[in-house]
Structure 1
Amino acid sequence: MKGLFTTAVSVLGLALSSSALPTATNTTTCGTGTETETTCGRECMTRIVNVILKSMVAGNWESLPLAKVYTATENLHPAAISMMTLWRTVTKAGTPSLLAIDTTAGSAYFSLAITEGNENAQAVLNARIKVVNKEITELELFINRSRGDHGFSLSPEDLADNYKPWISPPTNRTKASREILEALSAATFDTSTGFNVTVADSCQFLEEGWAVVDPGPDEDGSYEPLTCSFPSSRPTDSNARLNLVIDEELGIVVTGAVVPGKVYPYGELSAFIPDQMVEAQAAQEEWLEGKLVEGTIPLVEPLASTGEVLEVLQYYDGKLQAEAINVYLSGPGMSSVWVH
């Protein structure tokens, strides 16, 4: 949707090398230090991401350095990678528009536009991986092909340009410590932590590649891009997955959560509004009642739904500099297979 879930949850570059993965017997010097037989630095993680994307285009999942036992999901569904759709449909995948790497935890998050079938069939791929001993132990994939997948704005075409500020932050910035970034992760879906977030005036707010505007369901609102926010009324999740990726170099934090809500008609479109956004849901109910009396446009029936969220934040100079909300919708009362 254009703005409502954004408000809800808020109210809530790196070039890829085409070289092969280092062998287990080599010691390789990486950008962040010396890579040993078992550790995987920024260059190693970048190469693994590259291998994943190349394998999708080639339809060759067997080229992946998988651990003997791994966990994988595609749009919330647990499955063996050999059974996943992306290795059958992707025809083009370049370098990630955003790549955040956590060398301490051995994890990474990446986002890019991909092509399935003909050149006009673009979608947004968001993914998270975890690597142990240079092998993939976790692979979490979300492919958003339309706004119906997530109830948000969607723009594969603008995704790369909108992520450029993320991957090229000011060289003279003051980087946040890992401790601060972990506190930010803990506070993302928990209003009780006491961690106060100052939002930069220029903070960029994205939904699935789109710099969000909210003209309203009658398209009589503002077309100016929305800015970030971190209000006390943001949605909470006591089982939020903290510190999924903490990139200390770029100041990027990725946190996972499950947010119950409802899909409402939004003009002739639809929008996901979290249940904790009580006032926003009430306003949409009132709008719906008026439109039903008018009877001028077809309207989707409001239905309960669940949003699985990967919230991506960038923080430096003591302020929130950028925010991206990536969501995939499922049925009501659902949880995440990643929460044990």
Structure 2
Amino acid sequence: MQLPSPFGLLRLSLGITAALSTFGGAFPNGDVRASLTERGAAKECNRACLSNIVDQFLVSVVRHDPFSLPLASIYKATENSHSAALTMMTLWRTVTRVNKPSLLAIDSKQGTVYFSLDIDEGGITNILRTRLKVVNRKITELEIFVNRYRGEHGFSFSAEELPSNYAVLMSPPANRTKASRKDLTSLSKALFATSSDFKVTVSDTCQFSEIGWKVVDTGVYANGTTDPLGCSWPDAHPTDKKARVALVVDEELGFVVTSGMIPGIIYPYQNVSAFIPDAMPSAQEAQDVWYAYAQAKGQGPLVAPAAGMGETLEVLQYYNDELQAMQINVYLNAPNATSLWL
């Protein structure tokens, strides 16, 4: 299989204008053809360069042409937790339309970027989440997740609400106190740690979301609320000693991306299902009680409880010395699964 040549990249540049008609909106950087030329002269891949590579990625997806990308001679890639060459992935076969990223975190020091957006696959709106690593302006790592509905992560989901919910995170106050790289890294390390000295203050307006949707608690007996829940930083939380910390540290916008493997149980939850981590025993016990109650009342059909492993790319936003946003982005795998990225 032939790797992309300079002529192939030139063809991509010249074809960008035609590809724009397939997008839901313009690229975030304006004239991509001009920016490709300007950024190509830069020796290092700065924020603009990394943002441009994201643009190229999205063009390649909607054109079903993965080898138009500036791939390294050897690259590592996963789609929904399994490894494959890009030409064998589902993403490049099914996407018919993409929008610009609703959330874009850029780390020029590590050459990493994380983005999330809604995509169209045959008339159905789904959510794409991706982490890229770039070395010498070549993509060396692609960690891709496509969440198509709630069963793939176990709880809240809304591709339609993702853009509006994430818009506020991409426009933080101009007069904010930015977090240092050290503090963002410490926050990342604390997320799945068994103990940490890093004290986290939660903003009163902190946005708590899962896969595009602000989290609500409808209650085990449907006696909860439809109002969005706020963030919390509890003492009891999922832990992972092998968590991948500070994968992307965006000091400008205050984002940090962390990955953990979280064991839990997929429970029936009213007439759907929900993933409850083993680190939340009281929530599991409450669900056990409801499950026994529902069986006794003859309610159903209900899915049987089953073990699972949640692979996360969790996004936190932190500035003004407070946690401003928490995104629990999960993809469910088989029990005892591990990450290919470890």
**1:17 Cα deviation after fit:** 4.3
2 CA distance for matches of 1:258 and 1:130? 20
Q: Give the alignment of 1:167-316 within 5 angstroms.
A: 167-316=170-319
Structure 1 segment 83-102 matched on structure 2, within 5 A:
83-102=88-107
| Matched ranges for 1:96-175 at <5 A | 96-118=101-123, 121-175=124-178
Mapped partners of 1:137, 1:181: distance in 2:
24
2:89 maps to amino acid: M
Contact conserved, 1:14 with 1:167, CA < 8 A, in 2? no
Q: Give the SS at the match of 1:285.
A: helix
1:165 deviates by 1.1
Q: Give the TM-score normalised by structure 1.
A: 0.90
Any conservation in 2 of the 1:17–1:47 contact (CA below 8 Å)? no
SS at match of 1:167: coil
Letter in 1 for 2:184: L
TM-score (norm 2): 0.90
How big is the shift at 1:18? 4.9
Q: For residue 206 of structure 1, give the secondary structure of its aligned residue in structure 2.
A: strand
Q: What is the aligned partner in structure 1 of residue 69 from structure 2?
A: 64
What's the CA shift for 1:223? 1.4
Amino acid at match of 1:127: T
Deviations 1:202-235 (Å, cap 9, x if unpaired)?
A: 1001110001111123321111100111111011
User: Which has the higher relative contact order, 1 or 2, with Cα contacts under 8 A spaced 6 or more apart?
Assistant: 1
User: 1-side partners of 2:40 and 2:231: how far apart?
Assistant: 44
Which amino acid counterpart does residue 19 of structure 1 have in structure 2? V
Gaps of 5+ in 1: 1-12, 28-34
Residue 28 (structure 2) pairs with residue 15 (structure 1)? yes
1:320 aligns with 2:306: no
Q: Which amino acid aligns with 2:115?
A: F
Seq. identity, % = 53
Matching residue of 1:4:
none
Q: Compared with structure 1, are the counterparts of its residues 281 and 225 closer, same or farther at alpha carbon in structure 2 (3 Å cutoff)?
A: same
- Distance of 1:101 and 1:214 partners within structure 2: 32
Count of residue pairs brought into register by the alignment: 316
Unaligned runs of 5+ in 2: 1-25
Aligned with residue 44 of structure 1, among 49, 53, 60? 49
Q: Which runs of 4+ in 1 moved over 4 A?
A: 20-26
* Aligned partners of 1:18 and 1:50 also within 8 Å: no
Match of 2:79 among 54, 57, 74: 74
Q: Select 1:54's aligned residue among 56, 59, 81.
A: 59
SS in 2 for 1:264: strand
* Structure 1 residues 1-58: Cα deviation after superposition (integer angstroms, max 9, x where no partner): xxxxxxxxxxxx981445247479953xxxxxxx32xx10111111100111111111
Shift of 1:259: 0.2
